[in-house]
Amino acid sequence: MPNSHTIKAAELLDFSTAIYGAAGLNRADAELCADTLVQADLWGHQSHGVMRLPWYVARLKSGVVKTDARPELVVDAGAVAVVDGRDAMGQVVTAFGMKDAIRRARLHGVGAVALRNSNHFGTAMYFTLEAAREGCVGFLSTNASPAMAPWGGRVKTVGTNPWSWAAPAGQHAPMVLDIANTGVARGKIYLARQKKLAIPQGWAINAAGEPTTDPEEALAGVTLPMAEHKGYAIAVMMDMLSGVLSGSAFGTAVTGPYQAEKRGGTGHFIIALNIAAFQSLEAFGERMEQLIAELKAVPLAKGYDEIVYPGELEARNDAMHRAHGILLPADTMNGLGRLADESGCRSPFAN
């Protein structure tokens, strides 16, 4: 097998859908979960792309993620709702919650939906962009398994707890932010390990509390927060929204996709703001275009070729990869090849 392989998004989507189907998901859920992975690769975020497919399948096979579970509305209070995911795939739970938040925003101007008993959902921007496409400002937070220590400590008790905002931007691709509160998403450390690369200083400390550039040591140690104490504090607040407020697990009780046989207990929190309740969507788009123009008009610092707004690079990558294919590293290909053998699905790399 070659060291890398370029594959069309449609082929990768068909394969991933087939793998999820073989693992027990119905067709609609399989297509959704596959699309979230392939879309991450299209955006250039391979740390959250099909590299993760074996992890998700392992959790489905162990039974901690339920193939037939359906999200259940347990609080229905006008603009506010609480959804019990019943241990379904996080993508399925979050898609349900985002659609419901958008529906409530159209009725009330705002929709706020808390989600409990869910699982890892992939990239948050996949879901907030749905709100942007529907004329809303979308927010999504989630908690995650422990990855970093409280500021000043060296034992993992706080998740990366990512969050995302997205909004339409007039004639431009939507403006979207999707970040973890660590200096880097843990998936990027896994990707560095796959590629046998050192990680930069400042990403993590080892189990002894010392700086490391070894991804193995980093994964056994502690990922560092972004912006030092500020990143730690934001992560805790996102756990408050996603875990404590939702009624889901929080702190050290949350399990991530890396462990195949422990229940996730993941919680999420969604807000959708109907832009038309604040001003016309057309006026909002024009104002967003003005904001972007002002950003891009700033004189460049030394070493920079342009200024981009949040989400612009992902939109460019999407167009490029749809046209030319997605280049997958060898370890990702090997993992997908093993899944194909185990499930009886045809490998996308077969001649």
Residue identified by tokens 């594959």 is: 7
Q: Any catalytic annotation for residue 120?
A: yes
Contact 94, 121 (CB under 8 A): yes
Q: Which of 48, 120, 268, 321 is catalytic?
A: 120
What are 249's two structure tokens? 């697990």
What's the rounded Cα separation, in Å, for the pair 8 and 320? 11
What's the rounded Cα separation, in Å, for the pair 306 and 308? 6
10 Å CB burial of residue 86 (0-12, 13-18, 19+) is middle
Q: How large is the C-alpha radius of gyration of the chain? A: 20
CB atoms within 10 A of CB 209: 12
User: Which residues belong to the active site?
Assistant: 120
